[in-house]
Amino acid sequence: MPDVSLIRNIAIFGHGKCGKTSLAEAMLFTAGSTTRLGKVDAGNSVLDYEPEEVARKLTIGSSFHRYTWKKHQTYLIDTPGDDNFLNDARYAAAVTDGALFVIGAAQGVKFQTERVAAYVAEHELPAIIFVTKMDRERASFAKVVEGIKESLPFNGVPLHLPIGAEADFRGVVDLVSQKAYEFEPETGKVKEIDIPNDMADEVAVAREALMEQVAETDDDLIERFLEEGALTEEELRQGLVAAVRKGQVHPILAGVGVANRGTELLLDAINAYLPDPSQRPARMGVHPESGEPVELAPKPDAPFSALVFKTITDPYAGQMTVFKILSGTLSGDSFYNATKQATERFGQALVLEGKEQKPVKETVCGMVVAVAKLKETVTGDTLCAPEAPVVYELPPPIEPVVSYAVKAKSKDDEEKLFAALARMTEEDPTLRLERSKQTKETLLSGVGQLHLTVTGEKIKRKFGVEMELAKPKVPYLETIKAKATAQGRHKKQTGGRGQYGDAWIEIEPLPRGGGFVFEDRIVGGVIPRQYIPAVEKGIQETMENGVVAGYPMVDVKVALFDGSYHTVDSSEMAFKIAGSLAFKNAVQQANPVLLEPIMEMKIWVPKECVGDVIGDLNGRRGRVMGMDSEEKVEVITAQVPMAEVLEYAPDLTSITGGRGRFTMKLSHYEELPAQLAEQVVAAAKEDG
């Protein structure tokens, strides 16, 4: 059985294109897990292997690998940093034991950096920060350190100081050991050198700051530090280990992922400072039946439990379920899915290494493992031993904010497309597929335009069907504002038995949300009882298809109060048609109007962009309902007509320079202004 104390489980976080995957590739190569240094820009990365990732030079989904370094086995999750795909980063943060947080030295801390850092902080993950791309023009280690202290929820303290800058970056000084290391230009391997003379003062000041930060995390150490004025190297090292594992200090290292500089020292730091699984707090779950709290220790001898945080769909290999083992060991050929309350059988346990899968005989808590072709299990489910049932929770998926009407390019592929979309929604919980009753369109919702575009590309590649996206129709409704009375008379003579139905109705508006009310006021048998339900059915069917512009009609009360019938020619069908005609006639007299959906929006924007965003909302017929301040951002709550925000995401990105985000949901319906209603009616007639 693997020694848990020698296991590390880390996820790599950072904003899009900050250098995460390039650094991960260098780590794998340095540790000997790969035989060549994969490069994202060259399209030969081991971790970004999906064609959609290669084409865009962008991580789209979490990928997995492992490496062994100085007897420690580390399971690595490389997460996306682009806003469209952040849910994978969020889920990785919920299961991993430690974080490697990457920041580009020239780019520095971005708005998206703060968002990803919040996931790390939310789960109180011990973290090492790595400042990469130190060889780039305008790279500044000092500015990044300052940005971390100002903007991120980390207590960032340099563990290394860079030797040289930009093109002259050639090594680092380790402040704990007080040793300097130079990187060989070709291989990136380290060799020990003397600390440069011109850095002596800088090193002394930085080491003092490191000692002070570490000492403040422990009463004994602060006492020693105040008495002696310094800590020994061993005290500093041990204090730093404890402080990092408790999340009190976040050491900052420096290097270059693409050139493989600084990765040896980073691998050493991961072994030394980040916790093994047994050193993390036990995850709290609940009993699936009683709801009582359940706590299983992250130790090999505890009952088995695991949390599924990723599903990979492959039309050939079948569905791959990826989970982190939280307690115990996985053995046998079945486990219990406590979320679904079903027993699942599986074949081999696999460890993912990029796109490759390697069978593994022994598993233990801390490992990230995959199994293929489970029948019931989806992302977010808990797997466990049947005798120790437990259910853990993943955070809810990021809410989709853009929706498009979706259809197959070829009508013959409709069924195939929707089968593929069903599979994709299993893989990606931020996708949502639903049918609009009003517009009869199938809507695919996602986190952004790129998210849906990539989904279409994956479907074409994996399932051989092309998907088309179109701007969705607005699901307007129709209603009336006045009372009216009208007759519907259906009389047809075609030789033999004819058709005859005659109905008089009165209609009046109901309060918003009132739905449909039908009142039978027939007296004296002027319409036989068996035909009255047919009149109601005719009215309801007409309401579904609308009278003004083909949209469903709502909030109407209808009273059937008079009519006539023919003993031979009357039938249910005749009265159904009469009811429909009466309703259409009455609506035309009852001041019919269109109702438009109003969305409730929450928009997070930098303080300096508030005026521009509010001005833009006003131009969209929006109403600002309130504002709240959060650190560095304002949260605007607004009500805006759906028609005005169907493609809001790129506009908000443009206004805020990519620093804004929003959520929206349907709030209510309001009357559409007459001028706009005329345009909608005209468009409906043109389409119809």
What's the start-to-end Cα distance of the chain, in Å? 69
Domains and CATH numbers, the chain: 4-195+244-279 (3.40.50.300), 284-384 (2.40.30.10), 402-470 (3.30.70.870), 478-590 (3.30.230.10), 594-687 (3.30.70.240)
Residue 673: CA atoms inside 13 Å, Cβ hemisphere, count? 5
Give the helix/strand (H/E) hosting 468: strand 467-470
pLDDT of residue 111: 83
Contact between residue 399 and residue 42 where contact means Cβ atoms under 8 Å apart: no
Average pLDDT over residues 622-646: 94
Q: How confident is the model at residue 686 (pLDDT cuts 50, 70, 90)?
A: confident
Q: How confident is the model at residue 688 (pLDDT cuts 50, 70, 90)?
A: low
494 pLDDT exceeds 90? no
Q: What number of other Cβ atoms are within 10 A of residue 211's Cβ?
A: 23
Distance in angstroms (rounded) separating the CA atoms of residues 450 and 649: 11
Contact between residue 386 and residue 310 where contact means Cβ atoms under 8 Å apart: no
Amino acid letter, residue 536: E
Give the helix/strand (H/E) hosting 489: strand 484-492
Question: Beta-strand (E) ranges in 280-386?
Answer: 284-286, 293-295, 305-312, 320-327, 334-337, 342-345, 350-353, 356-359, 368-372, 382-384
Distance in angstroms (rounded) separating the CA atoms of residues 543 and 265: 71
Q: What is the residue whose two structure tokens read 């780039």?
A: 136
Give the helix/strand (H/E) hosting 60: none
Q: Which residues contact 421 (CB under 8 A, 6 or more apart)?
A: 406, 431, 433, 444, 459, 467
Q: Which residues contact 216 (CB under 8 A, 6 or more apart)?
A: 222
Amino acid letter, residue 286: V
Angle formed by the axes of helices 200-215 and 233-245, to 10°? 60
285 pLDDT exceeds 80? yes
Distance in angstroms (rounded) separating the CA atoms of residues 31 and 47: 15
Q: Which residues contact 73 (CB under 8 A, 6 or more apart)?
A: 2, 6, 7, 8, 66, 67
Q: How confident is the model at residue 306 (pLDDT cuts 50, 70, 90)?
A: very high
Q: What is the residue whose two structure tokens read 């309801």?
A: 540
Percent of the chain predicted with pLDDT > 90: 89
Distance in angstroms (rounded) separating the CA atoms of residues 404 and 442: 8
Q: Model's pTM, two decimal places?
A: 0.89
317 pLDDT exceeds 90? no
Question: What distances in angstroms separate CA 379 from CA 153, 320, 371, one per listed residue?
Answer: 28, 11, 13
Query: Worst-scoring range by mean pLDDT, 118-127, 187-196, 654-663?
Result: 654-663
pLDDT in tens, 69-102: 999 999 999 999 999 999 999 999 999 999 999 9
pLDDT in tens, 385-427: 999 999 999 999 999 989 999 999 999 999 999 999 999 999 9
pLDDT in tens, 11-38: 999 999 999 999 999 999 999 999 999 9
pLDDT in tens, 591-633: 999 999 999 999 999 999 999 999 999 999 999 999 999 877 8
pLDDT of residue 112: 87
- Please provide the average confidence, as pLDDT, over all residues in the chain: 95
Q: What number of other Cβ atoms are within 10 A of residue 160's Cβ?
A: 26
Long-range contacts at 456-462 (CB < 8 A, ≥ 24 apart): 457/51, 457/52, 458/50, 458/52, 458/424, 459/417, 459/420, 459/421, 459/424, 461/51, 461/52, 462/313, 462/314, 462/315, 462/420
293 pLDDT exceeds 90? yes
